[in-house]
Amino acid sequence: MKIQINNEVYNVEIIKKATTKNTYIRVKDDMTIMITTNIWTRDSELEKLLLKNQEALVKMLNRQSKKQEKEKYFYYLGQKYDIVYTNNPGIEIGSSKVFVNRSVDLTKWYKKESQSLFEARLKYWHSRFTKTIPLPTLTIRKMKSRWGVCNTRDKRVTLNLELMKQPTQCLDYVIVHELSHLVHANHSSKFWSLVEENYPNYKEIRKIMKD
């Protein structure tokens, strides 16, 4: 099946399962619209569903398109670089370009770079935090839906590796956010007051991160 949206034609992949009760729509990395539904759902019903939800589809397609555009570039602490592949070993960051050997695993490179930076920023904000709290253990990993997580029981803060691509103030805000959870394990007004007490312009940073 194919569908035309804003003068663009997209492939539609349909997966029907007996165990699936509802119908789900998502956009794959290659811009294919994938529908997962029950085996008894007729294709004509799915066509009507796509037309009915065209506005939501446009948002999903735009989001995926922006993601693809971003992946063409290299991001490091809020700076955007054109990628130039070379035979030189490792990675060398210039003023507007980054020179990368094709064999380099960028995720591993980011992870190695993040370790010392994230630890240093965590210790910095812990040392000046306005409440007495234990220094949490740090974990770094890629996460799809969260910038950070605080395990109040284990006193562990997990930071999203993707913060290496964001401006440093975004990293700082997330650290303060998670440290505040060691005092208030919720998002109450007291929690946000504590965040603001330690990071007064946190609302501005949240806007940047949403964009």
DSSP string, the chain: -EEEETTEEEEEEEEEETT--S-EEEE-TTS-EEEEEETT--HHHHHHHHHHTHHHHHHHHHHHHHHHHHTTEEEETTEEEEEEEESSSSEEE-SSEEEEETT--HHHHHHHHHHHHHHHHHHHHHHT-SS-----EEEEE--SS-SEEEETTTTEEEEEGGGGGS-HHHHHHHHHHHHHTTT-SS--HHHHHHHHHH-TTHHHHHHHHH-
Average the pLDDT over 158-168 and give the result.
Answer: 96
- Tell me which of 52 and 182 has the higher pLDDT: 182
Token digits for 105?
């695993």
Tens of pLDDT, residues 126-158: 999 999 999 999 999 999 889 999 999 999 999
Is the pLDDT reported for residue 70 higher than 80? no
Structure confidence at residue 82 (pLDDT): 94
Q: What angle do CA 159, 163, 169 make, to 5 degrees?
A: 105
Residue type, 132: T
User: b/e for 108-120, b at 16 or more Cβ within 10 A?
Assistant: eebeeebeeebee
Is the pLDDT reported for residue 211 higher than 80? no
CB 202 within 8 A of CB 176: yes
Is the pLDDT reported for residue 71 higher than 80? no
107-210 carries CATH number 3.30.2010.10 = yes
Q: What residues have CB less than 8 Å from 39, skipping those under 6 apart?
A: 16, 17, 18
Structure confidence at residue 1 (pLDDT): 86
Residue type, 57: L
What is the spatial distance between Cα 150 and Cα 195, in angstroms, rounded to a whole number? 14
Q: What residues have CB less than 8 Å from 50, skipping those under 6 apart?
A: 3, 12, 25, 33, 35, 57
What is the spatial distance between Cα 152 and Cα 100, in angstroms, rounded to a whole number? 39
- The domains of the chain are located at 2-70, 73-104, 107-210
Structure confidence at residue 5 (pLDDT): 86
